[in-house]
Amino acid sequence: MTGSLTANGSAEEVDETRNGASTATDGDATTVDGDHVDGERDGEHYTFDDLSVVMGTYNEEEAIGTVLDDIERVTDGRAEVVCVDGSSDRTPEIARERGATVIEQEPQGYGVAVREAVLTPDRPVVVTTDCDDTYPMDRLPDFLEAVNDGADVVSGDRLYHGAKSMPAFNRFGNKAFAALASLLMGERVHDTTTGMRAYRREVVQDVGWTENTGLSAELLIRPLMRGYDVREEPIEYAERLGETKLDPIEGGAAIAKSIVTVCLEERLRRF
C-alpha cells in the first residue's frame, strides 16, 4: 500500500512504494501508477469559509434543527450546509429555515444520498455527518486543523472512547467491520463506518464511488488504498435522536459485502 494512516492521533504511519516505483517529493502532491502520493502542501490554509458540511437526510425532523444549529454556532455561520433529502416529514423545511441548501431526491438509500451530498459543494473541504445528532459538531475546528496539517481525509473514530451510547449489537458489528477491512487492506483501521469525516474536495471528486449502504466504508477504504493521507481522529458518539432507519442484519450484511468488494477492487486495480 502506498499510503499513510495516522490512527487515533498517534504516529502510526505506513509509507511504502509499490512495484519499485519511485515517489516524488518535490513539494507537490503527485501520483504513482495512478495513485496519490503525498508531497508537501503549497501553504493552503483553510477556514470555515472554505468548508461545506453535507449530509443525507430522511425523516429526521426531531434532530435536524439541533445539528444545523450546532454547525451554525461552531462555524459562526460561515460553513455551507448541504442536505440531500428524501423525507416525508418537515426535515427539508426545517433545514431551509436554517439556511441549508436542500436537494430533494427520491429515497434510494444512504449511499445515493451521501454521494450526491459530497459531490455537490464547490468549497475545498467537505465534511460529512449524520443528521441524527450523534456526531460532535464541536470537533469541526479539529478536523479542519488536520486538513490544514496535510491530511486528505480525517475520519472520526467513534469506537476509541467506547461508544457506550451505541447499541451493543451495532458496536460489535462496527468493530467486526473494522477488523475485516484491516485484514483485507493489510492496514489497521479502527472505525470504517463512521459518518463524520473531512475530505479535501479533490479526493471525493477524483475517486469513483459505487456503494450504497456500504458507502461509509468505501469513503475510507478507497482513499487509503490509493495512497491518500488518511487520519483517524477519536470522537465522542452520542445517543441518536429519532428512529434508526437501518435494519442491523440486512444493513450489516450489505456493509460487509461492500468492504470485501471494495478492498478486492482496489487490490486488483494495482495490476
Residue with cell 479542519: 144
Residues of 156-191 as b/e, b for ≥16 C-beta within 10 angstroms?
A: bbbbbeebeebeeebbebbeebbebbeebbebebbb
Q: Comparing 39 with 60, which gets the higher pLDDT?
A: 60
Average predicted confidence (pLDDT) for the chain? 87
The residue-averaged pLDDT of 88-109 equals 96
Q: Comparing 51 with 37, which gets the higher pLDDT?
A: 51
Among 62, 67, 60, 64, smallest CA distance to 86 is for 60
Burial class (CB in 10 A: 0-12, 13-18, 19+), 270: middle
Q: Please, what CATH class does the domain formed by 47-268 belong to?
A: alpha beta
Domain boundaries, the chain: 47-268
Dist. CA 143–CA 23, nearest whole Å: 27
Q: Which residues partner with 55 through β-bridges?
A: 83
The residue-averaged pLDDT of 204-233 equals 96
Between 3-17, 38-52, 160-174, 246-260, the lowest mean confidence (pLDDT) is in 3-17
Between 42-46, 93-97, 144-148, the lowest mean confidence (pLDDT) is in 42-46
pLDDT in tens, 34-47: 465 444 455 689 99
Contact 204, 168 (CB under 8 A): no
